[in-house]
Amino acid sequence: MIDTHNHILPGLDDGAKTMTHSLGIVRQLFYSGFQTLIVTPHVMEGSGFLSPEEILAAVELLRKHVAEAEIPVEILPGAENYICPDLGKWAREGKLMTLGNTGKYLLLELPMLEIPQYTEQVFFDLQVQGLTPVLAHPERNKGLIERPEYLVDWANKGVLFQLNLRSLSGRYGPQAEELAERMLRSGLIHFIGSDAHRTSQEDGVYLQALRSVKEIAREEGVREVTLENPQAILTGEGLVGEREYFLQQPNKKKKRKFWELFRG
């Protein structure tokens, strides 16, 4: 499996602080079944800006330590780019790291509480350059929870979506969990990511979430989001097959089971 979103490079953002912490996360992800980790440190305006060169240097250092620790995991470069009006301009100037450094897929993040008015313009600016926008954890965004129809519109315009695995276990609240399930059932998830910032205190937390993916998306869906689509990132190719997207309604049966817990 391929993890398309994590913060395991030491000392670059709010993720792993030391190389020891990084190796702990890498081991945990490996034991959960991931063989390839695309690292995605935060990139944002001002003091949070990381150049591709800085990211590549950090990747090489982590690769060296992973090899010395004999963990059979491949480490590849990437970045989680915080959306801003100049993102398309930065891409044209070569200032942004694409996923896998293949020049095709760009992971970007919205603010958690809103959808900026310039969002669709940024998508367009990237697409006219041949870049495919990949939106990180859309299920966590308050604006998209309230207006999920945006997801269908964006997907039909070529925007792809990356799901945080732990959204399926309620890590980010019941609304994020519900939207994550709806998107997965609707085929609106293209990639999965651990979004790991540190080692989890819960054994098997990612395996549990992967079981949820299998229950919702079935075996073929799991293979698509954990291997087939991420492999397209690594080759710089487009995803196989075109489809028209829609969003299924919430799973009311699951809601009834939840409320039954409170019956006296």
Residue 210, domain CATH = 3.20.20.140
Domain containing residue 200: 80-260
The domain total for the chain is: 1
What is the CB-side half-sphere exposure of residue 19 using CA atoms within 13 A?
A: 12
Rounded CA-CA distance 83/96 in Å is 12
Does any domain span residue 231? yes
In a domain? residue 22: no
147 occurs within a structural domain: yes
Residue 224 located in a structural domain? yes
| pLDDT tens across the length of the chain (264 residues) | 999 999 999 999 999 999 999 999 999 999 999 999 999 999 999 877 999 999 999 999 999 999 999 999 999 999 999 999 999 999 999 999 999 999 999 999 999 999 999 999 999 999 999 999 999 999 999 999 999 999 999 999 999 999 999 999 888 999 999 999 999 999 999 999 999 999 988 878 899 999 999 999 988 899 999 999 999 999 999 987 778 899 988 876 654 444 333 433
Residue 256, in any domain of the structure: yes
- CA-to-CA distance for 252 and 182, rounded, in angstroms? 11
Q: pTM of the prediction? A: 0.93
